[in-house]
Chains A and B, each alone.
Chain A
Amino acid sequence: MTADSIELEIFKHLFAAIPEEMGVLLKRSAYSPNIKERRDYSCAIFDAAGQMIAQAAHIPVHLGAMPLSVQQALAEVDLQPGDVVILNDPYRGGTHLPDITLISPVFIGDALFGFAANRAHHADVGGMAPGSMPIARELVQEGLIIPPVKLMSGGQIQQGIWDIILANVRTPVERAGDLHAQLAANRRGVSRMEELAARYGVPTLNHHSAALLDYTERLTRALLQDRPDGRYEFEDQLDDDGISPDPLHIRVAITISGDSASVDFTGTAPQAQGSVNAVYAITLSAVYYVFRSLLSLDVPNNSGCLRPIQIIAPEGTLVNARRPAPVAGGNVETSQRITDVLLGALAQAAPDRIPAASQGTMNNILIGGWDPGRNAPFTYYETLAGGMGARPGLRGESAIHTHMTNTLNTPVEALEFAYPFEVVRYEIRRGTGGAGQFPGGEGLQRDLRLNVLATASLLTDRRISRPYGLAGGEPGAPGQNILIREGIESPLPAKGSVDLQPDDILSIRTPGGGGWGSKVPE
Chain B
Amino acid sequence: MDCSESAMMQATSRRALLLGGASFAAWAYLPKFARAADGRDPRFVVMILRGALDGLATVAPLGDPDYAGLHGAIALRGDGPNAAVMLDAFFGLHPAMPEFARMYRAKQAAVVHAVATSYRDRSHFDGQDVLESGFPGPGRVQSGWLNRALEALPKGERVTSALAVGPTTPLVLRGTAPTVGWAPTALPQAADDTAMRLLELYQHRDPVLASALTQGLQLEKQAQGDDMKPKPGGGGAAAMRLVARGAAKLMAADDGPRIGALAFDGWDTHANEGGPVGRLAQLLGGLDAALAEFQNGLGARWRDTVIVAATEFGRTARINGTEGTDHGTGTIALLAGGAVGGGRMITDWPGLKPANLYQARDLAPTTDLRAVIKGVLHDQFGIAERVLAEAVFPDSAPVKPMKGLVV
Partners in one complex: no
**Which residues of B are interface residues toward A (Cβ below 8 A)?**
none
